[in-house]
A and B are shown apart, each in its own frame.
Chain A
Amino acid sequence: AQSVSQHNHHVILSEAASLELGCNYSYGGTVNLFWYVQYPGQHLQLLLKYFSGDPLVKGIKGFEAEFIKSKFSFNLRKPSVQWSDTAEYFCAVILNQGGKLIFGQGTELSVKP
């Protein structure tokens, strides 16, 4: 069965540190890839998405992600995190056949001021 794995369940960083959250999926066909963020007590918001084209995509709030097809990965990065980035981050994949969004387990990011 298709799945999405986020390897880090909880990440703790100090402000200004660099961030990389891993995401791997298991599916050999064409996929659309997403990163969503959920701030405490709020609903999911789209950070960025990749459908095609340049595999390095930029999203809101200084986040970016790189799609590496050969590694089935879509890692999220930010060069310098802020306390306001404290949230839970979800990687998700839509398979071109079926259209259902498959989520990873989520990574909780805590940024210390």
Chain B
Amino acid sequence: DAEITQSPRHKITETGRQVTLACHQTWNHNNMFWYRQDLGHGLRLIHYSYGVHDTNKGEVSDGYSVSRSNTEDLPLTLESAASSQTSVYFCASSESNGGQTTDTQYFGPGTRLTVL
């Protein structure tokens, strides 16, 4: 069955370190997204991609970067981790139908990141 996986599921790191969170989907979806979930804020969009070599900034992109070298993967990098980036991170993907990007998003299991 097609799925979307994230690794690691839990990560503890120190302030200033570079951290990369992996997201891999086997849906063959063109669209991939990264969100962070914080109490009282719901989910907020960090970065997204509509296809290979395409990346776009979301609502809360400062301090994060992504790259899309293939269809299946969209790794999220925290260049220099800060305590404010302690959060739960969700990756999602959706199909693109003829350029329309309005289809259902399917979510991964999440990565709980703690920055000390």
Q: List the interface of chain A (C-beta within 8 A of B).
A: 32, 34, 36, 42-46, 49, 51, 90, 94, 96, 98-101, 103-106
Kindly list chain A residues whose C-beta atoms are within 8 Å of the C-beta of B109.
42-43
Task: Judge whether A105 and B42 touch: CB under 8 Å.
Answer: yes
Kindly list chain A residues whose C-beta atoms are within 8 Å of the C-beta of B58.
100
Task: Judge whether B31 and A44 touch: CB under 8 Å.
Answer: no
Instruction: Report how far A44 CA is from B104 CA in the complex, Å.
Output: 12
A-B contacts at CB below 8 angstroms, number: 45
Known: A34-B104, A99-B101. 18 other contacts (CB 8 A): A32-B102, A36-B107, A43-B109, A45-B107, A46-B104, A51-B102, A90-B43, A94-B101, A94-B102, A96-B102, A98-B101, A99-B50, A101-B33, A101-B45, A101-B105, A103-B44, A105-B42, A106-B42
Instruction: Report how far A106 CA is from B104 CA in the complex, Å.
Output: 18
Task: Judge whether A105 and B40 touch: CB under 8 Å.
Answer: yes
From A34, A99, A104, residue with most partner B Cβ within 10 Å: A99
A-B CB contact pairs (8 Å), 23 listed: A32-B102, A42-B109, A43-B90, A43-B107, A43-B108, A44-B90, A44-B107, A45-B107, A46-B104, A46-B106, A94-B102, A98-B101, A99-B31, A99-B50, A99-B101, A99-B102, A101-B33, A101-B92, A103-B35, A103-B42, A103-B44, A104-B42, A105-B40
Interface residues on B, range: 20 to 34
* Chain B 31-47: CB-based contact to A (< 8 A → 1; otherwise 0): 10101000011111100
